[in-house]
Homo-oligomer: A and B are copies of this chain.
Amino acid sequence: MAKTLAIVMFSGTADKFIPLGVLTQTAANLGLSVRIFVTGFATPYFTKNKPEPRFPKEFEDFVPKIHEGMERIKAPSWYDMLKDAKEAGDVKIYVCSLMAEIMGIKKEDMDPIVDDVVGATYFMQESGDAEIIFI
């Protein structure tokens, strides 16, 4: 396995944050480094002023069942999974500087979970020979 998992977190719908949390936590627990590059509609969810979660229109009827199931098994939130993964291993969360600029988001608006605001070139260089996935 590559020693680093690099995740481009683009999609902003609430469902996609579950695999972001699970894959990051799993990789960190397996001793992999994780580099997350937040961009697109995922960006505002990494600021202090998060929008309401939005589920894909096609599966809105599934949402109550998902919520009920997550409560039943006491699944941690994506935010807590990322926070735990950062404590357990080498996990860095970067926000895309281009998207932050487009959306008018400043460094001081970022959630404390964010390590830095960087460009795509920095991310791709930092990712080295990582396995990259695009969520």
What would 5 more interface pairs be, CB under 8 Å, given A69-B104, A73-B98? Answer: A8-B19, A15-B40, A26-B120, A41-B59, A73-B102
Known: A10-B19, A19-B8. A103 touches B41 (CB 8 A): no
What mask results when residues 88 to 111 of chain A are scored 1 for a CB within 8 Å of chain B, else 0?
000000000010011110000000
For this chain, the copies found in one complex come to 3
Residue A49 lies at the interface, judged by CB distance under 8 Å to chain B: no
Residues of B within 8 A of A75 (CB): 98, 102
A residues lining the B interface (CB < 8 Å) = 1-2, 8, 10, 12-13, 15-16, 18-19, 22-23, 26-27, 29-30, 39-41, 44, 54-59, 62, 65-66, 69-70, 72-73, 75, 98, 101-104, 120-121, 124-125, 127-135
> A131, B131: Cβ atoms under 8 Å?
yes
A-B pairs, top 9 by smallest CB distance, nearest first, are A69-B102, A26-B120, A133-B134, A54-B58, A41-B59, A57-B57, A22-B120, A1-B129, A26-B121
Known: A102-B73, A125-B30. A19 touches B1 (CB 8 A): no
Docked CA distance A27–B66 (Å): 33
Residues of B within 8 A of A70 (CB): 102
